[in-house]
Structure 1
Amino acid sequence: MNRLTRRRLTAATLTVVALATGTTACSSGGSSSAKGSDSGTYTIWDPYPQFAKDSAWAKLLDDCGTKAGVKIKRTAFDTSDLTNKVLLAAQQDNSPDVLIVDNPVVSTLAESGILTTTEDNKLDTSKVDPNLLAAGQSGGKTYGTPIGANTLALYYNKKVLASAGVDVASIKDWTSLTAALEKVKKAGKKGITFSAIGTEEGSFQFLPWFWGAGAKLTRLDSAEGVSALSLWTDWLKKDYAPNSVINNTQTTSWQEFAGGDYAFAENGTWQLANAEKAGFDYGVLPIPASGGGNAAAPTGGEFVTVPVQGDTGRYATTRKLVTCLTSTENLHATDTTLSYVAPTAEVQDKQVAENAELKPWVEAVKAAKGRTSDDLGTKYPKISEQMWKAVQSALSGAKSPKDALTSAQSAVK
């Protein structure tokens, strides 16, 4: 590990900030300085400013520190601010001991030489689902371990479907889903709402359909990619989806669904609490692939990583901290708090045993895929930007799906 070197941060590293959205940063457990003069103090940075220092999450960090025989100094930032702070700290050789970061950021930080590999820091990731671990892999190496995952699926309003004579069990592919939307419209209700806004949120929501068609991010303008964008475009033309999707965030899209008139909404596990408050019976099904089966939806969630340290003697204790945070017992409690699906089958089974409503989400997560998987790394932000621009262009009618994605692919090259 002492042979690890930190490469100069490049402009590509800074583009990762475009992937992040968040709220106001806050701090608990001390200042944002990465290390105190006391060698018995270990620093942890996380993207959970919603959890104050008396929260279960903060107490877990302190408990893991106690077990490792050290004091924890925790600083919480919103996601975008955290990324900027990490880049600055790395330049100053002042990185935190443990960094919990949004999974698309991992490969960029890794390629910049900021993170150690699990081979170097000897973290055991053998129980983690391979598709979730892939989000933290770059160049054949693994950088950290997921603390949990969320993804997208389709919420549905049982009353709306029943009034339209739609059996949700019949929805197995795009054809049957579109047929259901047609029935819903004929019954005087609204079809499906989603977010197609011109940001990472728009790409995030389009990816299940793009991947569900069999398309690859390395070729946006493939016939499969065009078929996915044509599906969305046709839904708008036939009024199965509202024009508002062009400006919808995932929050405003949810608000449309919560009104009670829509049959379906594409959204994530983070809306479960709101779904319980919606005032109508709902269900969840994984997003279908074009020809059947479950489409791969993008994984959300964070990785627990170990940044490079000038003092390599700190790694042994850091490993104890990370192992504690990602243990089977602690993962269950943490992922319940964060509304995440656990990254290991053992904890997933426990979650479903306690709450059967999580079963479709576990299925969706098992089919999910990291946005930076396939060794895209720092290429992903540029690809994603061109993807959401193409979606916007096609849905607004400015270009055909084929022309929009052809332009996107040319811009990526």
Structure 2
Amino acid sequence: MTFNNTRKVVAALSTLAICGSLAACGSSNSATDDKNLVFLDGYPQYDENSAWGKVVQKCAPDGYTVERQLQDETMNPLTTAVKEDNAPDIAMIDNPTLPSAVDAGMVVDLEAAGVKTDGFNEGIIDTGKVDGTQYGISYGINTLGLYYKPDILEKAGVDPASITDWDSLNAAIGKVVDAGYKGITFSGIATEEGVFQYLPWFWGAGGDLSKPDSQAAQDARDLLAGWVSKGWAPKSSTTNNQSAAWDVFMSEDYAFAENGSWQAQSATEKGYEVIAIPSKDGGDSAPVPFGGEFLVLPYHKTANDAKQKAAAEFINCMTDTNLLEVSESIGYLAPKDDVLEQQLKDQTYLADWAEPASSAQGRTTELGLKYESISSGLSQKLQDALNQK
């Protein structure tokens, strides 16, 4: 199988303007569409001329076109499409939603379909498994750190190297605020994004997801809620997603921001720097979750073996043959150590993220389907704390 740079990719923006869901667009598995692979793509911000759009095009198998069905959120349209037996050939889903997709019978065994799974970071590849079967596969990961503005810290007399635990972080924020600047931004929104940003503080206090009502959970909530109540973090932290929290950090005189590795390029261009998120009592930095999406093969009642083989070839191109180009196109860190080594030479602004990415923790690896309800509970209690309920 060869991959041709000139293979056509249909962006499908006009299709989505007409179709309220994937199911409304007609079956992608009819005989007339045998050479068209439908890819449910969660990156509508990237058009066909973007680096991402071009590498998707590059991975179209010989003799096939790839039609990108663009959605901001992919689980709901995928659920509907599978239910109506009108599923796309390939889909992208947020990695912690995989156990739910498997439980609902929405995705199939990748290895049985011909997807390669060797060479990946063990922690990352294992998160794509449910009961030992590989259902999801990564093409790049992200994680969290603590960005800061060196000029503000210098004016406030704060040495970033002194920030080694929660007490020293709070002392640094206090000095920044006393110097006339603002403190810290983070995302506490009542979605998985808010939980994602809460987890380093939870884990950094010794938390265990199997014990969501522990003292560590309370300590982490108290820390974040304290920042809001003191005015060190904006009140909008309760509703800001990660992008909005970053915009506040970028546009105002905030000294610190908890945010993701995907912001590294823009941060570097602005002269901002990053340190690891400190644990409560110091010592090792706080464990961080790994973020990013998985590629999956959706279930079809009537399987088309040739199309499934082609879909597997597409995934192999995205996660193996052209993994470096794929990861670099969106600023994610490659999930294979040898590829990441080359990426860090190409994208030097990611150098500080190599170690946290390699040790980042999966959210569902041990808990599987149970994570969904645990995450929901953590989110609700975080909202209550931030809103002082």
The residue type equivalent to 2:182 in the other structure is K
Comparing 48-57 with 339-348, which one deviates more in the overlay?
Answer: 48-57
Identical-residue share of aligned pairs (%):
37
Q: Distance in 2 between matches of 1:183 and 1:41?
A: 59
C-alpha displacement of 1:75: 2.6
Aligned to 1:34: 28
Q: Equivalences for 1:225-374 in 2 at 5 Å?
A: 225-275=217-267, 278=270, 281-290=271-280, 291-309=282-300, 310-311=302-303, 313-314=305-306, 315-328=308-321, 330-374=322-366
Gaps of 5+ in 2: 1-11, 17-21
Aligned to 1:77: 70
Structure 1 contact 138–375 (Cα < 8 Å) conserved: no
Pair 1:389-2:389 in alignment: no
Q: Distance in 2 between matches of 1:74 and 1:40?
A: 10
Instruction: Give the 3-state SS of the residue equivalent to 2:31 in structure 1.
Output: coil
Off by >6 Å, runs of 4+ in structure 1: none
The residue type equivalent to 2:293 in the other structure is E
C-alpha displacement of 1:210: 1.0
Instruction: Give the 3-state SS of the residue equivalent to 2:123 in structure 1.
Output: helix
Aligned to 2:109: 117
Q: Distance in 2 between matches of 1:168 and 1:113?
A: 48
C-alpha displacement of 1:268: 1.5
The residue type equivalent to 1:287 in the other structure is I
The residue type equivalent to 1:311 in the other structure is A
Q: Distance in 2 between matches of 1:27 and 1:260?
A: 37
Structure 2 contact 52–330 (Cα < 8 Å) conserved: no
Q: Distance in 1 between matches of 2:14 and 2:325?
A: 22
Of 167, 170, 174, which aligns to 2:159?
Answer: 167
Aligned to 1:60: 55
The residue type equivalent to 1:303 in the other structure is F
Pair 1:217-2:209 in alignment: yes
Q: Distance in 2 between matches of 1:77 and 1:180?
A: 43
**1:259–1:313 Cα change, 3 Å:** closer
The residue type equivalent to 1:182 in the other structure is G
Q: Distance in 2 between matches of 1:181 and 1:147?
A: 36
Structure 2 contact 107–298 (Cα < 8 Å) conserved: yes
Structure 1 contact 27–49 (Cα < 8 Å) conserved: no
Aligned to 1:8: none
Pair 1:144-2:136 in alignment: yes
**1:360–1:71 Cα change, 3 Å:** same
Query: What TM-score, normalized to structure 1?
Result: 0.80
Comparing 211-220 with 149-158, which one deviates more in the overlay?
Answer: 211-220
The residue type equivalent to 1:289 in the other structure is S
Aligned length: 367
C-alpha displacement of 1:273: 4.8
**1:78–1:323 Cα change, 3 Å:** same
Comparing 46-55 with 203-212, which one deviates more in the overlay?
Answer: 46-55
Instruction: Give the 3-state SS of the residue equivalent to 2:108 in structure 1.
Output: coil
Structure 1 contact 152–268 (Cα < 8 Å) conserved: yes
Structure 2 contact 123–361 (Cα < 8 Å) conserved: yes
Instruction: Give the 3-state SS of the residue equivalent to 1:208 in structure 2.
Output: helix
Structure 2 contact 36–67 (Cα < 8 Å) conserved: no
Gaps of 5+ in 1: 1-24, 399-413
**1:292–1:130 Cα change, 3 Å:** same
Aligned to 1:156: 148
The residue type equivalent to 1:33 in the other structure is S
Comparing 139-148 with 193-202, which one deviates more in the overlay?
Answer: 193-202
The residue type equivalent to 2:13 in the other structure is C
**1:32–1:155 Cα change, 3 Å:** farther
Instruction: Give the 3-state SS of the residue equivalent to 1:45 in structure 2.
Output: strand
Structure 2 contact 207–214 (Cα < 8 Å) conserved: yes
Instruction: Give the 3-state SS of the residue equivalent to 1:326 in structure 2.
Output: helix
